[in-house]
Amino acid sequence: MTGLIWADTEKIKKCAARAISDIALQKNLNNAAEHEREARRELEGKLPWQEMRTMARQSKTGAIEDLPQLLDLFEKRAIEAGSIVKRATTGEEAAQYVASVCRAHSAKTVVKGKSMLSEEIDLNQVLASEGIEAIETDLGEYIVQKRGEHPSHILAPAVHLNAGQVGDLFSQLGGESPGSSDPAALVEFARRRLRQSFLNAKVGVSGANFAVAETGTLIIVESEGNIRMCMTMPDVHIAVVGIEKVVSDWQAAAHLVQMLPMAAQGTEMATNVSLITGPARAGEGKEKELHIVLVDSGRMKVREGPYREMLNCIHCAACLAACPVYRQVGGHTYGSTYNGPMGVILTPLLAAMEGGSAKLTELCSLCGACREVCPVDIPLDDFIIDIRSDDRESSKPSAESLLFTIWARLWSKPASYRASVKSTGKALVPFMRRAKARSWLSRAPFPASLWTKERNIKAPASEMFRDLWKKRQDGSR
Amino acid sequence: MGLVNEFIDRAEENGTSTELVRSEEEAGRRVVELAGAAAVTRWDDQIVAGLDLAETSPEKAELSLVVASYGIAPSGSLVLVHGAGRSAGAALLPPRQIVLLSSVAIVKNLIDALLPIYSDSDAIPANIVIVTGPSRTRDIGLVPVIGVHAPKELHVIVISAQV
C-alpha cells in the first residue's frame, strides 16, 4: 500500500512508446499542460509569487516539523467538535477501518470523492473484497472506473480519453444512452446517473486537502460539487487524510488553500471550498457521523529522513504540467498512483525504496522545470538525483558500476586520460567520414555506443586543444 | 463601494451573474420576479422566508434561495454558512441558485471572512462552503462544461443601502 502499482522497466518502456505514438493523447496532454501553464503564468505575473511561495513553504515546513503535536491537537479539536478520529499507521489499517464503518451501517455501496490517498491504500479493492461497492463520483474518476483503468493524471483522471471514447463508454453502461458525444450532453448524463447514487448512499468517502489543527477542520476543494454531495447527502461521512495534510492555524490554511488552485490551474479560488468541523449537529437536520482517518503509511518515516521536505507537497500537480517527460508519456506509464516529478520521488519514499520503486526516478531528464513551478519550493530535481544515488549505493556492484570504476581510474591520471581520449577520437574517425567535425553522431563504437543507443554524441574536433596549445607554445619559443 | 464593484466584476468573470439593489424589499421583489413559477427551496433567513413562492423539497426544487454570510471581493466568492434552517442539501441540489448578499458583508480577502468565524471556538459551524462561480469540469476531452453537481446557474443580488 504505497501507491506503487508495478515497477517494471520493460513495461514502462512499452507504455511510454505507446503513449508517445498516441496522437490524441499527446494532443490532450499538451493542451492540458499549456492551458494550465498559461493561466498560471498570467496569475503569477500579477502577484508577488516568490513571496507567496516562501510563505507557503514556511507554513508547510513548520507544520511538518511540529507534526506529532499538531496531529494530537487536530485530533483533540476534531473530537470536541463531534468527529470520530482514527489514527491508522498503515494503509491496510485505514482501509479496514473504512470497511468496518460501512459494515456497521450495513452499507453495500459508498459514494466517493476523488482521493489519491484512497488509491494509494487500495481502498476500493479492500471494500470490494468485503462486498462493498465504491462508486467514484468525480467525473474523470467515474469514467476510468467504468473502463477498469487507473487514472492518468492527479487533476484530470481521464485526460487520456476523448469525448468520443467517453460517449461510447456511456452507451455501453446500459439503460439510456447519452445520445451524443457532445461533452455537455455527456456531463448531463453522468450527473443524472450519479444523483441517484448520492441520494441513496448511506456512506460517503472523501479525502481532504488540508486539516487545520487549530479547530479540527477539514478543507476540501473541488470544481464539480460531487464531493459536497458525498459529504452531505449520506448519513455517514468518512474522510481519509494523509497526516502530512495537517497545518497549524487559519492564517496558514487560508494562504495554502489559495496557493493550491493558483498553482494547479492559475485560478484565485477553487469553485467550491468546503470547511468541515464535525458532523452536522442536531437541529441542522438529521444527526450525522463524521469519521476522520489520519493515515501514516510511511509518512512519519519520510519525516525522519533527508527527504522530509517532500511532505510539503500540496498535491497541486503543477510539476506534472511542467515536466517534459510527463507531457510525453502521460500518467499510466509510471505504474504508480502518484506520477510526474512528485510521483517519482514520493513513491519510492513511501515504499522505503523497495520493489524497484527507485527506478521511477529514471523517468526524468533533470531539466529542473518542476522545481521552478513548485508553489512550496521543493528541490524536486535534487531529490530525484539523490534518490538515484541512494539506490545505486544500496545495490550490489554490477557490470555498470565496474565500468564506472574503471573509467574513474583511467580519468584520474593525466597520462591515461590523454591516452584514452586520443584513442577514442581515433576510433570515432570511421564514423565521421560522412559527418563534419563537431557535428552530431548517432552511432559510435563501444563504449560510446552505450550513449548513442539513446542519445547523439558530438564528434570530436580534428585536433585536440591541448595539442593545438602545445604547438602554439612550441612555435612561439 | 470599491469592494462592492470589485466583487461584482470578479463574480461576473467567474460566471456568476450579479445585480445591485438598494433595499431588502427590492431584493425580495427581484427574487419573486426571477423565480417565476419555478419550485423553490430556501433557507430560513427572514429576508427570504416571507416571500410568496411555490415551495418544495431540496430534491425536487429547480431553484434554491440562500443568504451569504460574506462575499470575498478579489475572487467574487460567496461564503455560505450551513446550520439550523440552512441545510447543505438546499444549497446544493437545485440547478439554479439565487444568493442574497449584503454589501457590508463583502470583505477584502479570504482570511477576513475566516478569522471571525473560527475565532469563536464555541460556535464553529459544522459546514461552510466558499462558492466561486457555478460548478464546472474539463474532465471530458478537456472541454470546459458549466454545470455538474453543484448549481449550474448562480445569481447574486447584492443589497447596498448606499447605491
pLDDT given at position A174: 65
Phi, psi of A257 (to 5 degrees): -70, -20
CA gap A352, B36 in Å, rounded: 62
Listed range (A112-116, A396-400, B95-99) with the worst mean pLDDT: A396-400
Interchain contact A24–B (C-beta under 8 A): no
Local structure of residue A201 (DSSP, 8 states): -
Q: In the prediction, which pLDDT does A44 show?
A: 83
| Cell, residue A59 | 507554513
The share of chain A scoring above pLDDT 90, in percent, equals: 59
Beta-bridge mates of residue A217: A212
Which of A232, A237, A258, A267 should one mutate to test binding to chain B, selecting the residue with the greatest count of B CBs within 10 A?
Answer: A232
**pLDDT value at residue A142:** 92
| Residue B121, pLDDT score | 80
**Residue A226 and residue A101: Cα distance in Å, rounded?**
21
Q: Identify how many contiguous H helices and E strands chain B contains and give both numbers.
A: 5, 11
Biggest CA pair distance of chain A = 101
Q: Cβ contacts (< 8 Å) between B149 and chain A: which residues?
A: 137, 191, 194-195, 198, 224-226, 228-229
Contact A228 B88 (CB under 8 A): yes
pLDDT band at A176; cut points 50, 70, 90: low
Q: A231: which 3 cell numbers?
A: 459529504
Instruction: Tell me whether residues A269 and B83 touch, CB distance under 8 A.
Output: no
**What would the DSSP string read from start to end of A65-80?**
HTHHHHHHHHHHHHHH
Residue of B127, B129, B135, B143 to mutate for A, most A C-beta atoms under 10 A: B127
The C-alpha cell that represents B55 in the structure block? 415551495
Q: What is the model's pLDDT at position A154? A: 67
Question: What pLDDT was estimated at residue A101?
Answer: 98
Q: What is the pLDDT of residue A432?
A: 64
Question: How do A457-458 and A133-136 pair as beta strands?
Answer: unpaired
Contact criterion met (CB < 8 Å) for B136 and A232 = no
Higher pLDDT, residue A335 or B106 = B106
Q: Where is A211: in which H helix or E strand?
A: strand A210-212
Instruction: Give residues with Cβ within 8 angstroms of A349, minimum separation 6.
Output: A298, A302, A305, A307, A310, A387
- Residue A331 confidence (pLDDT): 85
Q: Name which of A155, A162, A205, A161 is nearest A338 in CA terms.
A: A155
Q: What is the pLDDT of residue A447?
A: 73
Bridge-partner residues for A407, per DSSP? none
Q: What does the radius of gyration of chain B's CA atoms come to, in whole angstroms?
A: 15
d(CA B148, CA A172): 21
Nearest 5°: phi and psi at A111? Answer: -100, 135
The CB density around residue A258, as the number of other CB atoms within 10 Å, is 24
Interchain proximity A224–B72, CB inside 8 Å: no
Least confident of A203-217, A382-396, A397-411, B18-32: A397-411
Pick the residue from chain A with its C-alpha nearest to B152.
A224
| Binary contact (B118, A194; C-beta < 8 A) | no
Q: Does A111 touch chain B (CB under 8 A)?
A: no
In this prediction, residue A396 carries a pLDDT of 73
Going by C-beta distance under 8 Å and a sequence separation of 6 or more, which residues neighbour residue A215?
Answer: A77, A81, A250, A277, B118, B121, B124
Would an 8 Å CB–CB cutoff place B123 in contact with chain A? no
Q: Per-residue DSSP letters for A325-355?
A: HHHHHTTGGG-BSS-HHHHHHHHHHHTTT-T
Give A404→chain B minimum CA distance, Å. Answer: 46
pLDDT, averaged across chain A:
90
Please say whether the dihedral angle defined by the alpha carbons of residues A243, A244, A248 and A249, taken in this order, is positive or negative. Answer: negative
For B70-122, the pLDDT digits (tens) are 999 999 999 999 999 999 999 999 999 999 999 999 999 999 999 999 998 88
Copy the grid coordinates of residue A30.
499538451
**Res. A353: pLDDT tops 60:** yes
- Kindly list the residues from chain B whose CB atom is less than 8 angstroms away from the CB atom of residue A228: 88, 92, 129, 149-150
**Cα separation, A208 vs A224, whole angstroms:** 15
* pLDDT value of residue A3: 83
pTM (two decimals): 0.91
- CA A48 to the chain's CA centroid: 26
| Min Cα–Cα distance to chain A from B107, Å | 14
| Residue A471 Cα to chain centre, angstroms | 56
The confidence score (pLDDT) of residue A59 equals 97
Residue type, A255: H
pLDDT score at A162: 82
A27: nearest CA partner in chain B: B141
Residue of A161, A191, A256 best to disrupt the B interface, most CBs of B under 10 A: A191
A226, A207 contact by CB (below 8 A)? no
With CB atoms and an 8 Å threshold, state whether A276 touches B127.
yes
Chain B nearest-CA distance from A433, in A, is: 49
Q: What is the pLDDT of residues A411-464, one digit of tens each?
A: 999 998 888 887 877 777 666 655 565 678 888 777 778 888 888 877 777 777
* A243: amino acid identity, one letter: I
Q: pLDDT per residue over B10-67, tens digit each?
A: 999 999 999 999 999 999 999 999 999 999 999 999 898 889 999 999 999 999 999 9
Which H or E run contains A221? strand A217-222
Split at pLDDT 50, 70, 90, the class of A342 is: very high
Closest Cβ opposite residue B127 in set A250, A269, A274:
A274
pLDDT bucket at B163, cuts 50 / 70 / 90: low
What is the structure's pLDDT at B19?
97
- What's the count of helices (H) and strands (E) in chain A, helices before strands? 22, 12
Rounded Cα distance, A306 and A304, in Å: 7
Give the residue from B148, B129, B126 showing the smallest Cα distance to A192: B148
CB contact residues (below 8 A), chain B span 40-69, against chain A: 59
What's the whole-number mean pLDDT along residues A343-362?
94
pLDDT digits (tens, 9 = 90+) for A154-166: 667 787 788 888 8
pLDDT of residue A452: 84
Check if A183 contacts B (Cβ < 8 Å). Answer: yes
| Interface touch B148/A257, C-beta < 8 Å | no
Using an 8 Å CB-CB cutoff, list chain A residues near B111: 250-251, 254
Q: How sure is the predictor about A389, in pLDDT bands with cuts at 50, 70 and 90?
A: very high
How many Å from the N-terminal Cα to the C-terminal Cα in chain A? 72
B-contacting residues in A 258-297 (Cβ below 8 Å)? 258, 268-281, 283-285
Q: Which residues of B touch A215 (CB under 8 A)?
A: 118, 121, 124
Residue A434 neighbours by CB distance under 10 Å:
7
What pLDDT digit, counting tens, does each position of B112-124 carry? Answer: 999 999 998 888 9
Residues of B in contact with A280 (CB under 8 A): 82, 88, 126-127
Parallel, antiparallel, or unpaired for β A109-112 and A203-206?
Answer: parallel
Judge: A254–B114 Cβ closer than 8 Å, yes or no.
yes
Taking the Cβ of residue B13 and every Cβ of chain A, the question of whether any pair is shorter than 8 Å is answered with: no
Could you write out the DSSP letters of every residue in A284-317?
SSS--EEEEEEE-TTHHHHHTSTTGGGGG-----
Model confidence at A151: pLDDT above 80: no
Choose among A163, A268, A285: nearest Cβ to B143.
A163
Buried/exposed code over A152-177 (b: 16+ C-beta within 10 A; e: otherwise): bbbbbbbbbbbbebbbebbeeeeeee
Decide if pLDDT at A144 tops 80. Answer: yes
To which H or E segment does residue B67 belong?
strand B63-67
CB atoms within 10 A of CB B150: 27
